[in-house]
Amino acid sequence: MAADITKNLYVYCWVSFCVLFMFIKLAKSDNYIVHMDISAMPKAFSNQHTWYLATLSSVSAKSKAETNPTISFSKLIYTYNHVIQGFSASLTPAELESLKNSPGYVSSVKDRVVKVDTTHSFEFLGLNSGTGAWPVSSFGKDVIVGVIDTGVWPESESFNDNGMSDVPSRWKGECESGTQFNSSLCNKKLIGARFFNKGLIAHNSNITISMNSTRDTEGHGTHTSTTVAGTYVKDASYFGYAPGTARGMAPMARVAMYKALWEEGAYTTDIIAAIDQAITDGVDVLSMSLGLDGVELYEDPIAIATFAAIEKNIFVSTSAGNEGPDVETLHNGTPWVITVAAGTMDRDFGATLLLGNKVSINGLAQYPGNFTSTEFPIVFMDTCSNKTELSKIKQKIIVCQDPGKEDSLNDQFNNIQAAGNIAAVFITNSSSVDVFAQSPFPAIFLVQKDGDTVVDFIKSNTDPKASIVFKKTILGIKPSPRVTSYTSRGPSYSCPLVLKPDIMAPGDSVLAAWPPNVAAARVNQDLVFTNFNLLSGTSMACPQCFGYSSTFKSCLS
């Protein structure tokens, strides 16, 4: 009797497990990019799109043992025309298995999440306006640059089309309408704006897209696209840093934005749809500051799609990634695209500390707020680790010596921020000092030698005082360019025999346009806004490579 119950329970459990398992198996769809052999298309179909719809319809019917064409029709995400022969679709494992037996099926890869990599650079590259590559290529005149990114802020002055000739008739792109976006926002500079999120939505049908249009809500795309082709804008600066006329690498080139990177996520299905459309539209150059990590070339849809672009004579520039300094951290190690690393410029941003004895000392700083020119008492607080001591200080400039331990600068920074005071001076050797320079409170970062001068001054005076002037731009920094520590290193995971990255371009603290409603920094607790932002990363270096591409093109013609 007891044995029977056990046996029945066993069978019952087993059956429920199977039912549950089948349910999970049926329910769980995923996006796939499917390669098809178009020569296997039956003559009855007028084009590949209808063939794919029919294929998906029969696959769905077979795997579900029911016929409901409306379900299968919604499974197709994109039909691709150039990047591959094939399509993307949302498929259950059973449907995928069934598809593998369909006529014309070649191969498939699962959709993947894509990683988005985060006025003076021209002279620095040797591209001066009198001679050399720039005038030869007429500052990029009539070159159309397609940028795959987070969208644009079309109202930016950097997209002003004053002095631009009419859009060439070969251009087949469009300025698509959407949330807070319509075709009247494009002009002779920003000639295309399209957006791709069907893949993203297929992953989660309940998703809310916060800005369903090419409008940029993050700033990244506005910055990269104007780094490539922003027009001349006088009196641009980042809160007074890097003041001057801002302009892109190719100020006469035209921009077409393909938004495929969303606040809500980024997938290969959408990105290759963007590349596919850019090829159809007729771009000359494609700039992409994104990539897939740790994928073999033959499984990397972006590598395959860029191959199609190269075949159409489109120059493709991609970023190496920001995962350095370890080796084999690079993405986009694809042999046929240019992979760009980020270097420094001969420019730094800083502040001047003026001691009471009239000695002035320069240090790094990017504090965006306004600061008084008044003199304040200055006090040395050693490692700034005693919070009780720090909280007793009022109306003073505090000097901290970084003991050089792991995270010690970070701890000091947090202690000073919590204590709150007039300003801080950090004496540090830390290689990550750049990360702290954009401080929300007045702070200046000194090298050890200069720090020693300050400490000596404080110790040898009974009432030491100092003042600070922020918003200094220092040119002629040597040595430069230097390879940044964050830029990803080769060799490429997928193709280690090809030397990568190909070139290095300025990627550190690049000034370019920014959406005025996306916060650029913080001053104390307040968010602050600006039309131009300083960003660092291989994303910022990637578009600069365009300077070389226009040279290549002019050499060919």
The residues annotated with a catalytic role in the active site are 149, 220, 539
Residue 325: asked if its preceding bond is cis (omega within 30°), the reply is yes
Cβ 124 vs Cβ 344: under 8 Å: no
Our CA angle for 386, 389, 395, nearest 5°, is: 125
Q: How many helices (H) and strands (E) does the chain have?
A: 16, 26
Q: Say which DSSP state 543 is in.
A: G
Tokens of 327: 């080796």
Cβ-based nearer residue to ligand NAG, 358 or 405:
405
Cβ-based nearer residue to ligand NAG, 441 or 546:
441
Cβ-based nearer residue to ligand NAG, 335 or 403:
403
Cβ-based nearer residue to ligand NAG, 352 or 383:
383
DSSP string, 33-71: EEEE-GGG--TT-SSHHHHHHHHHHHHHHHHHTS--HHH
Cβ-based nearer residue to ligand NAG, 158 or 494:
158
Cβ 346 vs Cβ 418: under 8 Å: no
**Alpha-carbon distance values, 244 to 141, 157, 237, 474, 512 (Å):** 23, 14, 7, 13, 12
CA 253 centroid distance within chain: 21
364 by Cβ neighbours in 10 Å (0-12 / 13-18 / 19+) ranks as: buried
Cβ 468 vs Cβ 459: under 8 Å: no
How many alpha carbons lie under 13 Å from residue 111 in its C-beta half-sphere? Answer: 26
Cβ-based nearer residue to ligand NAG, 265 or 403:
403
**Alpha-carbon distance values, 473 to 191, 423, 527 (Å):** 34, 19, 23
CA 235 centroid distance within chain: 26
For 197, residues 6+ apart whose C-beta sits below 8 A from its C-beta are 209, 212, 260, 262, 270
Q: What are phi and psi of 28, to 5 degrees?
A: -85, 100
Least Å distance, CB 429 to ligand NAG, is 4
Angle between the N-to-C axes of helices 2-27 and 93-100, in degrees from 0 to 180, rounded to the nearest 10? 70
CA pair distance 59, 57, nearest whole angstrom: 6
Cβ-based nearer residue to ligand NAG, 106 or 523:
523
For 139, residues 6+ apart whose C-beta sits below 8 A from its C-beta are 250, 251, 252, 253
Residues found near ligand NAG in the complex (CB under 6 A): 178, 182, 184, 204, 206, 209, 212, 369-370, 386, 388-389, 402-404, 429, 448, 523, 528
- 379 forms bridges with which residues in the sheet? 398
- 178 forms bridges with which residues in the sheet? 181
Q: Which residue is nearest to ligand NAG (CB)?
A: 404
Least Å distance, CB 221 to ligand NAG, is 17
Cβ-based nearer residue to ligand NAG, 129 or 386:
386
How many alpha carbons lie under 13 Å from residue 118 in its C-beta half-sphere? Answer: 8
Cβ-based nearer residue to ligand NAG, 256 or 400:
400
Query: Is residue 244 helix, strand or coil?
Result: strand
Cβ 397 vs Cβ 356: under 8 Å: no
